[in-house]
Amino acid sequence: MRQVSAVFRGFLLSSLRDKYTLFWDLVFPLILLVILVSIFGNLGETISEAVFDVGLVLHAHEGGGIPIGSIVQGALEEMAGEDPTWLRLFTGSSLGEELDALGRGERHAVVEVQGQDVEVNVRSGRMMSEIAGDALAQVLEYLNLEVNRRLGLVSGPTVRTIYREVEGVSSAPESFNFAAYMVPGIILMVFLNSGLGPMVQRLAIDRELGRLRRLFASPLGRGQYFAGVLLYILALSVVQVSLIHAAGWLLFGVKLHLLAWPPLFFMILALVTLLALGLVISAVARTANAASALANGLLYPMMFLGGLYFPVGQLPYPIKLVVVVNPVTYLVNGLRHSLGVLTSPTPHWANVAVPLVFTGLTLLIGLKRFDWDV
Amino acid sequence: MKSYFAITKALMSSLFRDREALFFSAVLPLIFLLIFAPTFAGSGEGSKVEVAVYTTANGEDRELLDGVIREIGGLETTYYHSLDEVFDLVAHQQADFGLGWDGSNLEVLMNPARLQDNAVYRQLSEGIRAQLDRERLGLKDLLHVKVRGAAPQGQTGGEMGYLFPGVIALGVMSSGLFLISASFMYMKERFVLKRLAATPLAKLSFLAGLITTRMALSVISACLVLLVGWLVLGVRLPINWPLFVLYLIAATLIMSGTGAVISLIAKSARSASEIAGLSITIMTFVSGVYFPLEFLPESFRSASLILPATYVARGFRFVMGVEAMPWLSFIWETLVLCAFSLAAIWIVAVKGSWDAH
């Protein structure tokens, strides 16, 4: 036990002395949480606050019939006048000038009216321009209905649309909260980093430089060394989870019951699964450089295609194959569901079974192939 | 000139042995491209949207909804026996969105976690509603409304168009930012530069060689991204090639200059390298590298104005034909940033001491 505690203390002191390790382990996850929640948590608000710059070009109205141009202009001017934070209308320029302005990014959309034809020009691939086009199309659709009504061509009620968001799991009936969605994602991100990050590299470097061989020439056993490392990772994880939870609570008002049994089970399962993967990397890579390349090559696809930051279930094949075989997908689904943040898109049995099978396989390969010496 | 070629060759060999630098500059942008491209295209026009439907409407109204959904196209509908069933499917993300139709109300069920897709589903639902009104009320098309997506001045976009310049900018950020903040500073701390200073090698020749290696890395990274984009994703952009190559060089210089500024603040090579690593993460999110600045909160948009990556990513979008901007702005921004970068590199690497003391 003394040896285990000595290894643990060694790792702990070495981390505490290194301000950069402390930063990446403890502060960086909080920075990432704040950035992601600030951007994606407020996406709807940011879009709804956007002001669309719209150019209007009217071609001369010939003959009788309904003066569509004047109706469209009147409606858009009224909207721009009533709510200038939604629409800014530009008139008086030619179509060529307006389309040039659209090309330069100075307009989100250009509406051209010729007779009864109303064309909304948007800039393909520019998301805000496409949103402006869709919004204008809806406005014009409504205008068509109103003109029909005023001319007495139609009567009767229109279809009413009711939008509803599906709520979280039954244990958490409150509405969806992006910060609550992100906290479990960031927790698993730090576990993924514990499994594949600096620990793998440190083990590989120590082995390559012969430090481990020298260490094991002392009375320290390999099992004791390994237990000390695991104890350190466990302590680090407890601190990381506490900090992330505290940041979620203090900055975004997210209160999650992390100490209930189901989320605790998923967090422990995640830590074991990802550490076992780290063991395989250390076993397969012969040099520190190779271990670092392999770990980084796995880290990013597992992180982004595991659904830590955004849903990945709808991705097309073959990229979805990575999602399906990735244990992080099941771990994060299980953790979010157990916390009442989001209904798991994968079956509950799979959320437990897939990581367990993965852990079994990686431990089997890792323990068989791992060599303490190079 | 001979010494420049000799040092460039030596530095190039050293760079290609550095797997970590190669990974972050050449492989990581590719990984990001392959991860984000299908994510960006997932909600695009090409993919089928799965809709779970529950209806209590009578035969005529039910047929009306059927017809409207068929007319709109791109939707794969399945009917269920209860709204709870539809609710459950949407909650488990087994259906993209759900519809409940009683003949006068259209209930739309959406999963709030589908952040990147819900705007499209809302749009589709509005299209269904408008078409239902048109059919039910016998609405006359007094306004023939058409939305036309165009790419003016020969530019192109598409769902993935925005991503490519961003991914290339990320590769350039990685290769440029660590040039002074990591490579140069580490060589200085390990007294490699002090020993080099004792040789007849001119400081400028060494610096030019160092920058050349990073420019080569930027070119390799960009070529890989474009090649994979073309072969795997089938995306070809109307790139202005001569300008693109020139801008790759300029952008690497700009990011190297940013690295030099970091070195001025940092106390050691390790600290400079760590600050550079953090800067890349922050700039990736705040500089509109992967998604438009318009989607960012006001505070982030203001912060983006002082980040060089904002201008580099925009410059790449311009030379790759994805986004328009006035030529004068492009030239002005690039020249100013290059001048500042050269000045920063000059202060750190030429005027500054090559001795770690």
Q: Assess whether B159 and B133 both reside in one domain.
A: no
Q: Does A28 touch chain B (CB under 8 A)?
A: yes
Confidence of residue A339 (pLDDT cuts 50, 70, 90): very high
Which residue, B80, B102, B137, sits at the end of a domain? B137
Which positions ≥6 away from A235 have C-beta within 8 Å?
A8, A12
Contact between A350 and A331 (Cβ < 8 Å): no
The CATH number of residue B130's host domain is 3.40.1710.10
Torsion sign, CA atoms B170, B176, B179, B182: negative
Q: Where are the domains of chain A?
A: 2-41+172-369, 48-150
Distance CA B351, CA B184 (A): 14
pLDDT for res B239: 85
Helix orientation angle between A222-252 and A178-196, rounded to the nearest 10 degrees: 160
Residue B143 lies in a domain: no
pLDDT for res A188: 96
Mean pLDDT of the A212-238 span: 85
pLDDT in tens, A352-369: 999 999 999 999 998 888
Domain of residue B342 covers: 2-40+154-351
Q: Assess whether B82 and B158 both reside in one domain.
A: no
pLDDT for res B258: 92
The CATH number corresponding to A48-150 among 3.50.50.60, 3.40.1710.10, 2.60.120.260, 3.60.20.30 equals: 3.40.1710.10
Residue B212 lies in a domain: yes
Residue A318: cis peptide before it, omega within 30 degrees of 0: yes
Q: Assess whether B97 and B130 both reside in one domain.
A: yes
Confidence of residue A174 (pLDDT cuts 50, 70, 90): low
pLDDT for res A84: 64
Would you say residue A137 has pLDDT above 60?
yes
* Closest residue, chain B, to A118 (C-alpha): B145
Inter-chain residue contact B106 with A144, CB threshold 8 Å: no
Inter-chain residue contact B35 with A304, CB threshold 8 Å: yes
Q: Which of residues 167-196 of A touch B (CB under 8 A)?
A: 167, 175-176, 178, 181
pLDDT for res B44: 47
DSSP-derived letter for residue B55 is E
Residue B112 lies in a domain: yes
pLDDT for res B250: 94
Q: Assess whether B36 and B54 both reside in one domain.
A: no
pLDDT for res B153: 44
Q: Which residues in chain B have Cβ-Cβ distances shorter than 8 Å to A348?
A: none
Confidence of residue A64 (pLDDT cuts 50, 70, 90): low
The pLDDT tens digits along chain B (357 residues) read 778 888 888 888 887 887 777 787 788 888 888 888 777 665 444 567 889 999 888 878 888 888 888 887 778 888 998 888 998 888 888 888 999 988 888 999 998 888 778 878 888 888 888 888 888 888 887 788 888 876 644 445 456 777 888 889 988 888 888 877 778 888 888 888 888 888 888 888 888 888 888 888 888 888 888 898 888 877 778 888 899 999 999 999 999 999 888 888 887 888 888 888 889 888 988 888 887 887 888 888 899 999 999 999 999 988 988 877 888 999 999 999 999 999 998 888 888 777 766
Would you say residue A112 has pLDDT above 90?
no
Q: Assess whether B211 and B345 both reside in one domain.
A: yes
pLDDT for res A185: 95
Q: Does A103 or A253 have the greater pLDDT score?
A: A253
pLDDT for res A125: 66
pLDDT mean across residues, chain A: 85
User: What's the structural domain count of chain B?
Assistant: 2
Q: Does B275 or A123 have the greater pLDDT score?
A: B275
Contact between A99 and A64 (Cβ < 8 Å): no
Which residue, B109, B137, B165, sits at the end of a domain? B137
pLDDT in tens, A151-172: 778 777 888 888 888 865 444 4
Q: Kindly list the distances between the CA atom of residue A347 and the CA atoms of A167, A171, A318, A354, in Å, as whole numbers in the listed order.
A: 18, 17, 21, 11
Which positions ≥6 away from B202 have C-beta within 8 Å?
B3
Residue B148 lies in a domain: no
Q: Name the minimum distance, in Å, from the CA of B212 to any CA of chain A.
A: 24
Phi-psi region of A247 (alpha: psi -120 to 50; beta: other; left: phi over 0): alpha
Residue B303 lies in a domain: yes
Confidence of residue A371 (pLDDT cuts 50, 70, 90): confident
Q: Assess whether B80 and B220 both reside in one domain.
A: no
Q: Which residues in chain A have Cβ-Cβ distances shorter than 8 Å to B93?
A: 311, 313-314, 345
* Closest residue, chain A, to B132 (C-alpha): A159
Residue B357 lies in a domain: no
Contact between B270 and B146 (Cβ < 8 Å): no
Residue B191 lies in a domain: yes
Would you say residue A98 has pLDDT above 80?
yes
Which residue, B137, B166, B200, sits at the end of a domain? B137
Inter-chain residue contact B149 with A38, CB threshold 8 Å: no
Would you say residue A277 has pLDDT above 60?
yes
Q: Assess whether B34 and B58 both reside in one domain.
A: no
Residue B144 lies in a domain: no
Q: Assess whether B176 and B245 both reside in one domain.
A: yes
